[in-house]
Amino acid sequence: MARLKKKTIIFGSSGDIGKKIKQVLNKDKILEINSKNLDLGNIEQVENFETNFIPDNIIFVSAKNNPKDFLSLSNREIQEIFNINFISFIKILKKLLKKIIKAKKKCKIVIITSLYSRVGRSQRAIYSISKHALLGLTRNLAVELGPKGITVNAVSPGYVDTKMTRNNLTLKQINFLKSKTPLKKIILPNDIARIVKILLDDETKSITGQEIIVDGGISINGSFGL
């Protein structure tokens, strides 16, 4: 599918999935947001953030996932994870959308969510709650911004071969997950990046408010270990 040069903001372009997204969109003019130029955990920095870049595409990939029992999380840790994974994004998104709407642009927004946008897991409470919130944001903004020609979609990866996965899971756990996945594989960052690119394409402009799950089928496997 042919694609015109677009202006794209990628939040979290330095992570394993973000890097691949940047690579597949290499024809775009890209503004990258990572902890090097903006700490999403720091609300003061986020509120002072300004840009003249009016994007055609906004991709939110940033996240912190720090597995810990809910009861042992400090209030500061809870706030930080929620800021990075959700609050800072909605604050910046609001500023960007005002400019986009004023410029009468038809923007496409893609948010990277997770299988934990729908289910819970011990030691993942705040990460999972922030991902539920992002999925809610996807649906609500799709409804509210649809009349302005703005689409909002979510991509939920299953277990992806990234630093985040290797830090949070043992090799034994990864192999167990592979065995429970109908496609018998771990997802690759490129599998996620290709779907993001498709959702940004003009040919898919009628899709909005949807969650595309890219997980090798693990979330629909009803075998439950039998």
Ligand X SMILES: NC(=O)c1ccc[n+]([C@@H]2O[C@H](COP(=O)([O-])OP(=O)(O)OC[C@H]3O[C@@H](n4cnc5c(N)ncnc54)[C@H](OP(=O)(O)O)[C@@H]3O)[C@@H](O)[C@H]2O)c1
Cβ distance 60 to 86 under 8 Å?
A: no
Calpha distance 160→18 (Å, rounded): 12
CA-to-CA distance for 144 and 68, rounded, in angstroms?
35
Among 9, 24, 25, 62, binds ligand X (CB under 6 A): 62
Closest separation between CB of residue 218 and ligand X, Å? 11
Is there binding between residue 216 and ligand X (CB under 6 A)? no
Q: Is the dihedral of CA 112, 31, 108, 41 positive or negative?
A: positive
Contact 20, 214 (CB under 8 A): no
Please state, as a whole number, how many other Cβ atoms lie within 10 Å of the Cβ of residue 115. 18
Q: Which of 60, 82, 89, 127 is catalytic?
A: 127
Which lies closer to ligand X via its Cβ, residue 184 or residue 205? 184
Residue 127 falls in the annotated catalytic set: yes
11-30 mask for ligand X (x: CB under 6 A)? -x-xxxxx------------
Q: In what order do the strands lie in the sheet with 108-112?
A: 29-33, 7-11, 57-60, 108-112, 151-157, 211-214
Span interacting with ligand X, options 10-18, 48-56, 68-76, 199-207, rule CB under 6 A:
10-18
Which of 63, 97, 133, 142 is in the footprint of ligand X by CB under 6 A? 63
Site string for ligand X, 73-102 (x = CB under 6 A): -----------x------------------
The CB-side HSE value for 217 (13 A sphere, CA atoms) comes to 12
Among 6, 7, 31, 34, binds ligand X (CB under 6 A): 34
Query: What residues line the site for ligand X (CB under 6 A)?
Result: 12, 14-18, 34-36, 38-41, 61-65, 84, 112, 114, 157, 159-160, 162-165
Residues annotated as part of the active site: 127
